[in-house]
Structure 1
Amino acid sequence: MPLDAHALLKARADGLNDAYANHSAFAVMSRALDDDLVGDIALVSSFGAESVVLLHMLSVMDRTRPVLFLETGMLFPETLTYQREVADRLGLSDVRVIRPDTEALFADDPEGDLHQRDTDACCALRKTAPLERALGGFDAWITGRKRYQGGKRAELQFFEAEAGKLKVNPLAHWEPSDIADYMTNNRLPRHPLVAQGYPSIGCGPCTSKVAPGEDPRAGRWRGDEKTECGIHFAGGVVVRGNGAVVAG
């Protein structure tokens, strides 16, 4: 994206952050859905441990809005079942299951073992590239990231400019207790793996159980300095835990 275009988009994000300051999570999301300065928008959901909060909010606001679900081909069976059950229970009518390109999989990961050799390349193939294609017709997308998740998320704002799109983070300022209270008060179904020790859930091969007292995301790419799958960039690069960057 040209620097001047990115600067304009960043200025728009900054203006939106000023305009939405002190809004509640629900108000941010509800207003953003129909804000001309935001444009056409989709909710991107992993249907993971905390995803049901934003999915429920969307179902209250407009069940016909598009939800993009990245089916990497390596998700836990429990996640696939949970996705179908939640979408049906909430009446979400436009859940789009996004899958990796078949030819790209055959060329770059024919044995399905790329994650064992290069986790960044695997995430790019199975997550980043498919999502980029799916977002082609949208101006913005909604994420479930929060500041309490730490790392580069610690300074998260409601709006960000990235890769030519606006990213909207309604839950940026929420705490774990807010998530738990919302789910309890609205009687929302929990992802079945949470009770088994998985507070953060990604692809099966790269997600492990978390011990009591560990960071909730400690089970993601355990033993690797990788902290993000790659769909969330900082300045166009994937940021690792040690501050190293990998070109996106």
Structure 2
Amino acid sequence: MREQAHTLPSGTLTAQRRRVRTGSGGFGRHFLVAALLPAIILVVWQWAGSTGRVSPLLLPSPLAIGEAFVRLSLSGELFIQLWHSLVRASTGVFYGSLAALLLGGIVGLSRTVRKLVDPSLQLLRLTPSLATAPIIILWFGFGETSKIVIIGFGAFFPLYMSMVQSILGVDSKLTEVTRVLAFGRGKQLTRLVLPAALPGILSGLRLSIAYGWLGLVVAELLGSQSGIGYLMSHAQTNSQPEVIFVGVIIFAVMGKLIDLFVVTIERRLLRWRDSFTGN
């Protein structure tokens, strides 16, 4: 019996080669290369701290930071303060994003509203958060409300800008098609505008969460009785630099994990786009 040769499309072969190259061996090599520089930095850092070449009050050694992390974790204080920060950040980002979606949608859909509202918002957008934070505290006090407003203020503008630009960027030819098909305003919005604007909206949401997380740092460092920022401020008062570094690392790691979570949702929602490959 004669065997038949089965050929695969070039695109399939390319994909298979890519999977082979990025297999377990490729991932291991990539990880080793990526971890090389941080490992060297940690070794030199620990050597400088152990030999007394750097004052521990200015730059505590990695081992001291690790011991502080373990101590705070075992006492439960780290997780309690982290929970306060996550709840605070989630609340601020939620309200800021909700306001951005509503106002951004109205501004993007209405030329009249855009001319009236957008110039003032653009001016406010260019104002640094550190400049507005004292005003917000002056108006709302040092309580929880001011912190939520600071976080929401930081989260508002990235999503607002993405919302407006995504709506304005919808292809006018597709709009004409919906008019020919006699789509009403609501149907045009749900069938065309929102699906076409969804990639930009999700990108804006990703930035919104990132800026809201940065707003959390500002809010908690300016004055708070709970949260990772409070933990860092308390450590500064008591000359515990290793705890300050623990707080910085927690802020960085949680920010990255939150960003990865948003990217995962973005990939799932945009599977229908052939051009989308994730970031």
Larger strand share, 1 or 2: 1
TM-score for both structures, normalised by structure 1: 0.27
Larger helix share, 1 or 2: 2
Look at both structures and tell me which one has the larger radius of gyration over its CA atoms. Answer: 2
TM-score for both structures, normalised by structure 2: 0.25
